[in-house]
Structure 1
């Protein structure tokens, strides 16, 4: 689209950065309090801050939070620090996700769901965590997709690119370890542990809403062509959040169908694009509906197979 009103804006990008820094600062300041109410309030702000940083990471990975490449790179690294995801790994894997959406066994973010595990123990663990809102999946999502360096190596053709990704991941891991050593694990857990867990619980619901249990194609090892961005809508689901939360916290990434059709547009411009025939659910209805479905059905089947109309 050539409409100048749909282009990235440095001022809007700066606004999101300032909001993220403000929420993080308030959250940490309150979480340092010995007063229980202030500490709990701080955890609430930290939950929101973690979600904001993940949203900014997503935009910077697309190069759409700011107009220029450099600020997207800088803020992307900062957002990756708070989101617990190396920025360069995110950028590369997310690019592959957009290329291969619709081919479940090729898309690096969905290929693990293309075949049900044979271990009954793993299936029981998944069912238990999903039933009781234990955020196993947003943790596995990070570790398997963005921190698993051998898996990333198999995905990348150029060794130089893999070295950059590996260096970025190892540097970030070193920073985390240094913080833990000098501050102490208990101090970090008290400061931000509940807020982090709260954000991961939210991301379990949010991330798995986007493509899980939606019918997709299987390549079965065949050489296939990627689906175009306009063809990817049918493989995608959106959630409906309050408008203020969608715009200020999620940067409209909840409009996931529109995002896949227009991946080059900033998320904060998607409300200006005409809505599509939508595979959309209210976020609360989604959250409580899918939690009643066993994980082994929700994760490894689709609605055509299970009969669940989600």
Structure 2
């Protein structure tokens, strides 16, 4: 997944910028923990909100380190990738392998392991009703399903990886579960007091971010025919960016909102993405997307596209 060999010098990863970028997550972590420990009532919940943004950032940073492009050194990317993976409750190696396949097969809905389940909704009216209610009430059902089915589901992962990689995934699952068991055994009171609610809130932020990226976009289906991967630049039409305040996007979202540029140039560090200009309209504004997307039924937003609904973003 490391495309650094083809990247011009001024767009390559730099350790100084990468470590500087971590100042805001560290600040959010420290301030959120202090508020959550020292105060009750309103200030406690302010601390939880601050920590929820920290957990959103760990998810984004897991993504960046898995591309081996956030830091200059591969080993530093791996070390921090595991740290952010533990904090995100997503095993680093399974994320890296499945996300690599996502970049390879973006543009073929049934070939991309992260979108293959979005071809058609469930035939169960009850399930579809639950999906619609969760979408309207901002219950992060989609993110949880995305996370568990793609990065913790050994049956699915086995279909996509060779035996050697699959064995490594299983080994890291056991390591991650052992780490979580140890942390909860020794620190469960502290974890419940300080982190549980913040992590739960962060699930909503994560869902809102990832649901902008490939949902409700017309993406071809191969129907089990022999097809070739679509080039990175041609993948732009099957992705969506969203736009917010530039400072917030760069220092709080690490340019994770610039998903079209990321798919066009997946080997470029996130902090360099804003330097690249694509011939694409800078739309939608995040709140415009949120308003229009939430007006729709969840099953329509996920399983259909503007071709079927007429809703454009």
TM over 0.5: yes
Q: Does 1:293 align with 2:291?
A: no
Instruction: Give deviations 1:184-224, integer Å, cap 9, x for gaps.
Output: 3x653432233222211112111011000000000111111
Return 45-54 or 189-198, whichever deviates more. 189-198
Deviations 1:69-108 (A, max 9, x none): 0000000000111111110011111100000001001101
Displacement of 1:8: 0.4
- 2:167 paired residue number: 163
- Which residue in the other structure is 1:68 paired with? 73
1:39 matches 2:44: yes
Q: Does structure 1 retain, via aligned residues, the 8 Å contact 2:64–2:70?
A: yes
Contact 1:51 1:249 in 2 (8 A): no
CA distance in 2, matches of 1:104, 1:230: 17
Is 1:134 the counterpart of 2:139 in the alignment?
Answer: yes
Residues 1-310 of structure 1 aligned to structure 2 (within 5 Å): 2-157=7-162, 159-184=163-188, 187-278=190-281, 280-310=283-313
Q: CA deviation at 1:35?
A: 2.5
Mapped partners of 2:123, 2:174: distance in 1: 32
Determine helix, strand or coil for the equivalent of 2:242: strand
After superposition, give the CA deviation of every residue in 1:131-154 in whole Å (9 maximum; x if it has no partner): 111111111111011011121111
User: Given that residues 135 and 197 in structure 1 are in contact (C-alpha distance below 8 angstroms), is that contact kept between their aligned partners in structure 2?
Assistant: no
In structure 2, what is the Cα distance between the partners aligned to 1:45 and 1:151?
34
In the alignment, the residues of structure 1 paired with residue 7 and residue 205 of structure 2 have an alpha-carbon distance, to the nearest angstrom, of: 35
**2:3: which partner in 1?**
none
C-alpha contact (below 8 Å) 1:238/1:278 kept by paired residues: no
Q: Work out the CA distance in 2 between the residues paired with 1:239 and 1:169.
A: 33
Residues of 1 paired with 2:215 and 2:7: CA distance?
33
Comparing 90-99 with 173-182, greater Cα deviation is found at 173-182
Distance change in 2, residues 1:218/1:147 (3 Å): same
Partners of 1:299 and 1:269 in 2: CA distance = 30
Could you tell me which runs of 5 or more consecutive residues in structure 2 were left unpaired when the two chains were aligned: 1-5
Change (3 A) 1:192 1:288: farther
Q: Is the CA contact 2:7–2:268 (under 8 Å) kept in the aligned structure 1?
A: no
Q: What SS does the aligned partner of 2:254 have?
A: coil
How far did residue 130 of structure 1 move?
Answer: 0.4
Runs of 4+ in 1 over 4 A off after TM superposition: none
Instruction: Report the TM-score, using the length of structure 1 for normalisation.
Output: 0.95
Against the structure 1 CA distance between its residues 114 and 39, is the aligned structure 2 distance closer, same or farther, given a 3 Å change threshold? same
Q: CA deviation at 1:286?
A: 1.0
Q: Is the 8 A contact 2:62 2:85 kept in 1?
A: yes
Q: Aligned residues, how many? A: 308
TM (norm. structure 2) is: 0.94
SS, match of residue 194 in structure 2? helix
- C-alpha distance in structure 1 between counterparts of 2:79 and 2:7, whole Å: 26
Cα gap change, 1:61 to 1:2, in 2 (>3 Å): closer
